[in-house]
Amino acid sequence: MLLLRSIFDFDSKIKKLDELNSLISDKDFWSNNNDAKTITKEASSIEKIITLLNNLENELNDLYELIELSKDEVSELEQVKTQIKDYEEKLEVLEEESLFNGEYDDLSAVLNINAGAGGVDAHDWAEILFRMYTRFLDSEKMEYEIEEISSGEEAGIKSVSIRVKSYRAYGILESERGVHRLVRISPFDSNKRRHTSFAGIDVVPLIEDSDETVIKDDEIRVDVYRSSGAGGQHVNTTDSAVRITHLPTGIVVACQAERSQLQNKIRALDLLKSKIALLEREKQLKKLDAIRGEQVEAGWGRQIRSYVMQPYQQVKDTRTNIEVGNIQSVLDGDIFIFVKEYLKWRRQGLND
């Protein structure tokens, strides 16, 4: 059990849980509902690990005793087998928890979808992915907001930015970063030919200490524009949307989630600070792959996942080689198998 306690940094988790419970007991804790939900979810997850470790320790001791007592009692062997099976199931739960071992895994995140090559088909594909991810987030009860969305001229969307305010949002969504390729009979082609479309996904962790990053006024260009895209009453009809360009790095962020220009600027600056802080850490460590996974290789020249509708139906992740035949289920948001297998693949890569 000492090994398990070491793997899960048991003492640090006890300390962290005490800190979170202290925040939860504050009388003003629920003044910010979204932050409160994130904190309670994190506390619940840590408490679950602590409880599991304590229970496993006690059960392991009991199991040793039972094995000793049942050596000469055939009738008790079934009880031993049952307890061993129960113990293995609990170890599997801990094994899943151990997959979230990245520096930024516990943080909230921003997921960006950008239509790539393929014209109107690519815009439609980007919107299909948008629907897939929002359905996935809903099924996982992860809070999210649309930061910015840009419609395609004929159909679909050019891009969308989704802020996911939830514990472990980055750890769960990191698997999606890269190029997603769709092969299908185009609904926009009168000759019913097969088309290939691409969309790029980027996932950025919202780094908690990004406030330490200082951005000077002369380092940014702020543009305001009218919000566009799907959203009904939530899309503003005034020039309140904000796009900020960080001139030294070329990083661009945008936000149209709020009704006021000032609020959108504050949110956009928050995301910009996270991106700059991430970039600085990458430079310091000189290990881009250790922080941002496949970002370097997952540009427009390399896909991470293929979705084929014709001539056969299959979704395949090129990193883990996981294949799913029910493409509609995947497009309806059932993507956790890809998330879990990616985390296993990532852990193996970090251990090599």
Q: Name the residue ranges covered by the structural domains of the chain.
A: 2-98, 109-352
pLDDT band, very low/low/confident/very high, at 133 (cuts 50, 70, 90): very high
**How many Å apart are CA 256 and CA 237, to the nearest integer?**
11
Which pLDDT score is estimated for 351? Answer: 54
Residue 307 burial (10 A CB sphere; 0-12, 13-18, 19+): buried
Residue 165 tokens, joined: 């305010």
Is 96 strand, coil or helix? helix
Report the pLDDT averaged over residues 159-171.
93
pTM metric for this prediction: 0.73
Q: Which residue, chain included where needed, has tokens 């600056």?
A: 269
Question: Side by side, which strands form the sheet with 251-255?
Answer: 220-225, 241-246, 251-255
* Reported confidence tier of residue 132, pLDDT bands at 50, 70, 90: very high
Query: Does residue 115 have a pLDDT over 70?
Result: yes
pLDDT at 329: 97
Question: Is pLDDT at 110 greater than 80 in this prediction?
Answer: yes
Peptide bond before residue 205 is cis, with ω within 30 degrees of 0: no
What pLDDT is recorded for position 90?
A: 74
Q: Which helix (H) or strand (E) holds 317?
A: strand 314-317
More confident residue, 154 or 73: 154
Residue type, 318: T
* Alpha carbon distance 19, 207 (integer Å): 19
pLDDT digits (tens, 9 = 90+) for 194-242: 899 999 999 999 887 666 778 899 999 999 987 665 443 334 445 788 9
Assess if CATH 1.20.58.410 describes domain 2-98. yes
- Maximum average pLDDT range among 16-25, 53-62, 168-177, 289-298: 168-177
For the domain made up of 109-352, the CATH class stated in words is alpha beta
